[in-house]
Structure 1
Amino acid sequence: MKRHNLKNNLVILFIITLVSVTSCSFTTKDFDEDTDKDKVLIELITHVIEQGHFDMREIDDDFSKSVFKDYIKGLDPIKRHFLKSDFEEFEAFQTQIDDQIKNKNLIFFDLTVERYKKRMEEAKEFYAELLEKPFDFEEQETINTDYEQVDYAKSNKELKQRWRQQFKFSTLSTFHDLKQEQAQNIEDGEDVEIKSDAELEKEAREVTRESIENYFDTMSDLERKDWFNLYINSIASQFDPHTSYFAPRDKDRFDISMSGKLEGIGARLQKQRDNVKIVEVISGGPAWTNGELEVGDLIQKVRQEDEKEAVDIRGMRLDDAVSLIKGPKGTQVILSVKKVDGSTQTISIIRDVVEIEETYAKSSTVESNGDLFGVINLPKFYFDMQNYNERNAASDIKKELERLNEIGAEGLVIDLRNNGGGSLSTVVDIAGFFIEKGPIVQVRDAQNNTEVLRDTDSNVIWDKPLVILVNELSASASEILAAAMQDYERAVVIGSKQTYGKGTVQNVVDLNRWMRNNTTFGDMGALKITTQKFYRINGGSTQLKGVESDVAVPDRFSYVDIGERDYENPMPWDKIAPANYKVWKGYSNLDKVISSSKERLSNNAQIQMIDENAKWIKSQRDQNKFSLNYEGYDEEMTQVENMSKKFEGISQYNTNLVFKSLPYEKALMAQDSSLTEKRERWYKSLSKDVYVEEAIHVLQNLNVDENSIKLAARKD
């Protein structure tokens, strides 16, 4: 399922990796003060993109068609407003948008927005009628939610029927939940008022009514600038998925997120059609601590602790949905969530701020067959934006490595799973702890200038076996570290078939600085623009392909697109000349160990169950036809719940490995019971982790030739 480019404008709690917030050296430009601000904004953005984008795309008819497709989809993602005749009228402009951009012409934009408002008002006139009478859940009827393939309604009558089906589907879902809840309460012996199906259907229908009324209220509050931001981002995102416009309000949110002041449930949210999707669970946040939310989950309803009724946020603007999810520290929010496997779950989370300590690197020891190993978890490549010499990922990793050396650890696992990236400088420093002098990553700009970033310190902190764990959510900086260690043959990379695949660098440009005469237009916002691309030292880009694991292991996202390739127009993979480097010569049996690991995992029952679960998740995500008959719907939901229970065994796995804190941390625990609780929770998770178990097996089998531990530094 493709993620829509509208996300670039609507993502809240936005955390970007490997971003350089800079003034850049673009040429400033004069603008006609008598021109409309919207027209100036289009001219300004295209000017900045033309001067600074890594791979400037030609603004032509093909470009125009792409903008048209994304913008219309953004306006009406589930095709419940525009008629077929509207779309055909809009189609006349699909090859003219490029000309309108160049001529600062907004005829197409104005037409679509005015038509949308008209269709919205028409829908307001009939929605109450559709919800006035009870729905017949005995009727055999289905709904198709593959809106990409569904055509626009040819008439108002057909459009009304489409709304009716959507209302019925929403009501059926709530009705089913209410029946299940009532049955469970009766089974538990609770003293509850037993309601008839008719009463429960009416209650469910009222929930649908409130939801759609909230939707109309929200849409009515939108101003022209909100729609124009959508249009602008439909243009900007054609250059690549990470180039996007921040209106002044969105830029303020970006500044807050970059400062690390993250509050609420600690998750990054994204609009996906009518749903609110979890795209990141932030380490140290309440959702991370709770452990029940995961990437790919869809939040459907939100209830406050002091309220009886949940608010259905499907169809709601992301800003408004987030305002319901956020709240004062210490309060509880109850989320109705559709899990990635298709099951539904109610999750209660106590709102809080992100615990900064939990975003930092942490380490553990583990003993296996008399051998002592270390595990370091790195949630992100953090640094202080004001002062790099303050605490950062590299300085913390160095301390942990030295501590592991002191206690005689014989091998190390670095866990980069779910690590979305961060500071490039810390990546180069960390890679240098495992090799002598040498290149770590190559950075190329739009003028094909290539800079090789290298480790210049010949000191090697860790010269013992190394395994790096990754998954599909290991991105940017994580991919650079994993790629460098793989190219040097310094580490065995274990994890998903490939990592996320984000190999580009963005600059955030304050648009106000590129106008010589901005005395009229006010704050113009900012533009996030892709200016550089990363390449491995072997010459291959990490873009799109990511890093392919030496030992590829199935996980729950194995069969669904969840990385850079999930975007509609990602920048391509390519290759440049390799840097001058020589591989590490420390392992005498690297190929044999990798081969043995693959064979061992292919026969692992836990891995086989995870693979089966991943295929089930894929089938659920591909399902787009649902029964509107209660018995049929109940059967579908029962099957989902049964399959979910079947795969609960995955979380019951036990490696029999025992994880312990390092001596310095044990001393801290004696004075901090909360630290003890946090670490015990982490150790319990590690003890059930088949991927960590395999990493320990690999460390045990890697033979280090003490006489060959050397790396010839690159000859400049």
Structure 2
Amino acid sequence: MKTRGPLLFSALLLVFALLAATLPTDRVDVPPGDAPSVILRTMLANLENYHYQPVDIDDDFSERVYDEYLNDVDGARLFFTQEDIDAFSQYRHAIDDQSKAGEFTFYDLVQDRWMASLDKTQKWYEEILAQPFDLEAPGTFTDRDETSPWPADDAELKQYWHDYMKRDVVRQLADKREEIAQDTTGEEFPSLDSLETEFRADILERYQDWFKRMRDMKPSIKRGQYLNSMTAVFDPHTSYFRPKDKESFDIQFSGRLEGIGATLQTDDEYTKVTSIVVGGPAWKGKELKEGDVIMGVKQTKEEMVDIKGMPLEDVVDKIRGKKGTVVNLKVRKPDGTIQNVAIERDVIIIDETYAKSLIIDDEEGQEKIGYINLPSFYADFENADGNGRFSAKDVEQEIQKLKEQNVDGIILDLRNNGGGSLRDVVDMTGFFIPEGPVVQVAGRGSNKEVLKDKDRRVQYDGPLVVLVNQYSASASEILAAALQDYGRAVIVGSNSTFGKGTVQRFIDMDRTIAGHNDVKPLGTVKLTMQKFYRINGGSTQLRGVVPDVILPDSRSLLETGEKEQHSPLAWTEIDPADYSQDVYRIRHMDSLQARSARRVAASPTFTRIEQNAQRVKRQRDRDSYPLALTEFETLQQAARTEAEMYEDLFDDVVNPGVLNLEVDLEPILADESKSARNDDFKQSVSKDVYIREAVNIVEDMIRLEGTGAEKVGYQE
């Protein structure tokens, strides 16, 4: 079963903040019913009342939900046949009426058929994997996806399962035989038949575990998937969150959680520790280790609870807790010994999500360039009392530290930054301009609001480059677009940013209906309430932000972005805002672009990146594979030989003078784990050709704009 779960688009969220528009105080009237019925009708009522562009709950809606849900449940075409689809088709135009009534008739039928298919296909794969594959039998396997037709009958579906698993065995054998061919130790390896037997056994174990997880999936998770097939009809970023899903989102968004600092996964009937968060409580305690199996959980003054067979999210819920409280774990070590481990919970900071800076000391050009990496526009709204981390505040501190080092320019890296807090992006844009508009927001009914930086301070008034790529989305696009429209920064990156120009807000559904206390909490709906627009009036929706300087990218030929999502809202435009700035205006953009183009054309690395883009596109488009081992090995070897041509693309150090700021060194060197992560960070920056070109552009700005740019001093 595919899961379009609520966290699928969480990285592309733009949190609704600073907006004058508020939700109406009227509550929706939902008739009595069980929890699923109340949740469904409340969700639809909220979508109808508050979504930016509500969808009529009619036959068209029904058709779209029908297709969305079946593709979500079985997008790989592994479980249903045309016979199942024929049984479902009677409800193709009935889901709208069922939804209004709070009924799940279509959902129930799909679930019944899906569970029956689990039983059927499990017997098939057990039967198939019980016998050796004919490794040289001819044949071709073609991947199926949601654009593929459904298998006509059980015979076709069973053959697909056979080929599906044979492809897996053949791929593993090809990998192992390549490893054996390259071995120089003289080690004796198992025969081909023995390896084939071993890999079939491994696949059987993996499939047994997968099917058990599917069977044990909580009903609330499966219903949530169905509800999200409905929200997906409205737009890609509207979704339903169960209470636990919202809690997980808050952790991801804030970059902090309270717990023991361990990553867990289901292992047979129990829960296994797969990793320990460096610096967290479990890491400090030194008793809980990777590979340990948790058998029981005990809270202070309570009995030990046996977690055998317990869903993973319930185990996690029992282990998580408030800072300062103690959880006791009954643990089976890899050697079979049983141990009780007591861990005091604490706040775990996921510091990779936070802003950090370096200095790139370019000895050739004798310039000192500041570099700020911002992974997301994070904001800890749950701890707004001063203890929470906010991206704008952190970036302001990094700017100040860089200024104290007398940098000649700054690079702000927003690559792969999927967005976040709207309040923070407005504040952050204001660091580079005097007071003025940053973004326009239009809600339902075309009511427009201009969000402005109202602080006349300019934290940084020098040369600025903003790095983006096709995964820079939402808040990243607001900042890049505003600084581009103001002529304040040079935007550098791939063909275009992601193209998400919509604003979401979380609505606690409990607060939108009266009564129904017996079935609360209902969960949360994240819905699109507004679209944002550049200050020049254009939208970033679908089109994104086109950089001033476009650099070759290995993924530039792949179809990505908002336009590739299901049901995206359309591109529109409104009147421009009144904006201007005289802090630092780029007056030689043509020259900057021409100089960069000459460097890129002369760069062997960028030439190879363009060639690699063609290879990546060919590999992404491939969906058919030979099933005969020898043919598969020939194809794989050709693909690997071609890939090896580009493995050293980013091996060379192109930024030799990458330095930490002195003020940051003490806490880094005092923590072994921080020091190791810092070394990795610096090494990645030193080999990044995109940062190298950004440095070159900053140096060009210094030379070209140094005397021609209008600069006015602003009080800090």
TM-score (norm 2): 0.81
Q: 1:265 to 1:209 in 2, by over 3 A?
A: farther
Where does residue 7 of structure 1 map in the other structure? 4
Kept in 2: contact 1:427–1:480 (CA 8 A): yes
Higher mean displacement: 626-635 or 260-269? 260-269
Cα drift, residue 140 of structure 1: 0.9
Where does residue 133 of structure 1 map in the other structure? 131
- Give the secondary-structure state (helix, strand or coil) at the position aligned to 1:414: strand
Q: 1:707 to 1:547 in 2, by over 3 A?
A: closer
Kept in 2: contact 1:248–1:523 (CA 8 A): yes
Counterpart of 2:380 (choices 371, 377, 384) is 384
The amino acid across from 2:378 in the alignment is: Y
Asked if residue 639 in structure 1 is aligned to residue 638 in structure 2, the reply is yes
Asked if residue 216 in structure 1 is aligned to residue 217 in structure 2, the reply is no
Q: 1:709 to 1:389 in 2, by over 3 A?
A: farther
Q: 1:604 to 1:200 in 2, by over 3 A?
A: same
Provide the C-alpha distance between the structure 1 equivalents of 2:674 and 2:37, rounded to a whole number of angstroms. 55
Asked if residue 571 in structure 1 is aligned to residue 578 in structure 2, the reply is no
Where does residue 654 of structure 1 map in the other structure? 653
Kept in 2: contact 1:365–1:662 (CA 8 A): no
Higher mean displacement: 484-493 or 678-687? 678-687
Kept in 2: contact 1:361–1:379 (CA 8 A): no
Where does residue 412 of structure 1 map in the other structure? 410
Q: 1:5 to 1:577 in 2, by over 3 A?
A: farther
Provide the C-alpha distance between the structure 2 equivalents of 1:254 and 1:671, rounded to a whole number of angstroms. 31
Q: 1:358 to 1:36 in 2, by over 3 A?
A: closer
Where does residue 156 of structure 2 map in the other structure? 158
Counterpart of 2:366 (choices 365, 370, 373) is 370
Task: For 1:263-662, list aligned pairs within 5 A.
Answer: 355-356=350-351, 359-367=354-362, 368-385=364-381, 386-387=383-384, 392-582=390-580, 584=582, 586-655=585-654, 657-662=656-661
Task: For 1:249-260, list aligned pairs within 5 A.
Answer: 249-260=244-255
- Give the secondary-structure state (helix, strand or coil) at the position aligned to 1:652: coil
Where does residue 344 of structure 1 map in the other structure? none
Cα drift, residue 267 of structure 1: 11
Cα drift, residue 6 of structure 1: 4.1
Provide the C-alpha distance between the structure 2 equivalents of 1:606 and 1:101, rounded to a whole number of angstroms. 55
The amino acid across from 1:704 in the alignment is: E
Counterpart of 2:239 (choices 233, 238, 244) is 244
Kept in 2: contact 1:436–1:711 (CA 8 A): no
Provide the C-alpha distance between the structure 2 equivalents of 1:630 and 1:673, rounded to a whole number of angstroms. 46
Provide the C-alpha distance between the structure 2 equivalents of 1:577 and 1:31, rounded to a whole number of angstroms. 40
Kept in 2: contact 1:30–1:517 (CA 8 A): no
Specify every segment of 5 or more residues in structure 2 that has no aligned partner in the other structure, as ranges: 266-275, 279-289, 294-310, 321-328, 335-346
Cα drift, residue 582 of structure 1: 2.3
Kept in 2: contact 1:266–1:285 (CA 8 A): yes
Q: 1:698 to 1:125 in 2, by over 3 A?
A: closer
Higher mean displacement: 502-511 or 97-106? 97-106
Q: 1:174 to 1:708 in 2, by over 3 A?
A: closer
Provide the C-alpha distance between the structure 1 equivalents of 2:567 and 2:602, rounded to a whole number of angstroms. 38
Q: 1:631 to 1:592 in 2, by over 3 A?
A: same
Where does residue 185 of structure 2 map in the other structure? 188
The amino acid across from 1:245 in the alignment is: Y
Kept in 1: contact 2:254–2:378 (CA 8 A): no
Provide the C-alpha distance between the structure 1 equivalents of 2:27 and 2:677, rounded to a whole number of angstroms. 51
Kept in 1: contact 2:40–2:99 (CA 8 A): yes
Q: State the aligned residue count.
A: 642
Q: 1:435 to 1:203 in 2, by over 3 A?
A: same
Provide the C-alpha distance between the structure 1 equivalents of 2:57 and 2:166, rounded to a whole number of angstroms. 43
Kept in 2: contact 1:555–1:611 (CA 8 A): yes
Cα drift, residue 149 of structure 1: 4.4
The amino acid across from 1:554 in the alignment is: P
Provide the C-alpha distance between the structure 2 equivalents of 1:217 and 1:268, rounded to a whole number of angstroms. 17
Asked if residue 231 in structure 1 is aligned to residue 226 in structure 2, the reply is yes
Where does residue 105 of structure 2 map in the other structure? 107
Kept in 2: contact 1:377–1:416 (CA 8 A): yes
Provide the C-alpha distance between the structure 2 equivalents of 1:355 and 1:46, rounded to a whole number of angstroms. 35
Q: 1:530 to 1:670 in 2, by over 3 A?
A: closer
- Give the secondary-structure state (helix, strand or coil) at the position aligned to 2:440: strand
TM-score (norm 1): 0.81
Kept in 1: contact 2:255–2:378 (CA 8 A): no
Q: 1:189 to 1:528 in 2, by over 3 A?
A: same
Kept in 2: contact 1:540–1:574 (CA 8 A): yes
- Give the secondary-structure state (helix, strand or coil) at the position aligned to 1:212: helix
Where does residue 202 of structure 2 map in the other structure? 207
Provide the C-alpha distance between the structure 2 equivalents of 1:358 and 1:97, rounded to a whole number of angstroms. 41
Q: 1:159 to 1:454 in 2, by over 3 A?
A: same
Cα drift, residue 708 of structure 1: 5.4
Kept in 2: contact 1:140–1:629 (CA 8 A): yes
The amino acid across from 2:552 in the alignment is: P
The amino acid across from 2:4 in the alignment is: K
Provide the C-alpha distance between the structure 2 equivalents of 1:435 and 1:522, rounded to a whole number of angstroms. 47
The amino acid across from 1:464 in the alignment is: G
What CA deviation, in whole Å up to 9, does each residue of 1:457-492 have, x standing for no partner? 223232221111111222222111111110011111
- Give the secondary-structure state (helix, strand or coil) at the position aligned to 2:645: helix
Provide the C-alpha distance between the structure 2 equivalents of 1:70 and 1:55, rounded to a whole number of angstroms. 19
Kept in 2: contact 1:266–1:353 (CA 8 A): no
Provide the C-alpha distance between the structure 2 equivalents of 1:481 and 1:595, rounded to a whole number of angstroms. 24
Provide the C-alpha distance between the structure 2 equivalents of 1:685 and 1:466, rounded to a whole number of angstroms. 21
Provide the C-alpha distance between the structure 2 equivalents of 1:484 and 1:577, rounded to a whole number of angstroms. 15
What CA deviation, in whole Å up to 9, does each residue of 1:166-188 have, x standing for no partner? 1212222233344444555x533
The amino acid across from 2:589 in the alignment is: L
Kept in 2: contact 1:468–1:482 (CA 8 A): yes
- Give the secondary-structure state (helix, strand or coil) at the position aligned to 1:444: strand
Cα drift, residue 117 of structure 1: 2.3
What CA deviation, in whole Å up to 9, does each residue of 1:227-254 have, x standing for no partner? 3222211111110111111223323333
The amino acid across from 1:653 in the alignment is: D
Where does residue 88 of structure 1 map in the other structure? 86
Higher mean displacement: 17-26 or 440-449? 17-26
The amino acid across from 1:519 in the alignment is: N
Kept in 2: contact 1:420–1:476 (CA 8 A): yes
Specify every segment of 5 or more residues in structure 1 that has no aligned partner in the other structure, as ranges: 270-283, 287-303, 308-317, 334-351
What CA deviation, in whole Å up to 9, does each residue of 1:137-176 have, x standing for no partner? 1111111103334322222222221221112122222333
Provide the C-alpha distance between the structure 1 equivalents of 2:196 and 2:105, rounded to a whole number of angstroms. 46
The amino acid across from 1:250 in the alignment is: D
Kept in 1: contact 2:426–2:453 (CA 8 A): yes
Kept in 1: contact 2:13–2:237 (CA 8 A): no
Q: 1:516 to 1:399 in 2, by over 3 A?
A: closer
Kept in 2: contact 1:582–1:712 (CA 8 A): no
The amino acid across from 1:19 in the alignment is: V
Q: 1:143 to 1:397 in 2, by over 3 A?
A: same
- Give the secondary-structure state (helix, strand or coil) at the position aligned to 1:92: helix
Provide the C-alpha distance between the structure 1 equivalents of 2:554 and 2:333, rounded to a whole number of angstroms. 29
- Give the secondary-structure state (helix, strand or coil) at the position aligned to 1:205: helix
Kept in 2: contact 1:266–1:354 (CA 8 A): no
Report the identity percentage: 34
The alignment yields a C-alpha RMSD, in angstroms, of 3.6
Provide the C-alpha distance between the structure 1 equivalents of 2:421 and 2:147, rounded to a whole number of angstroms. 41
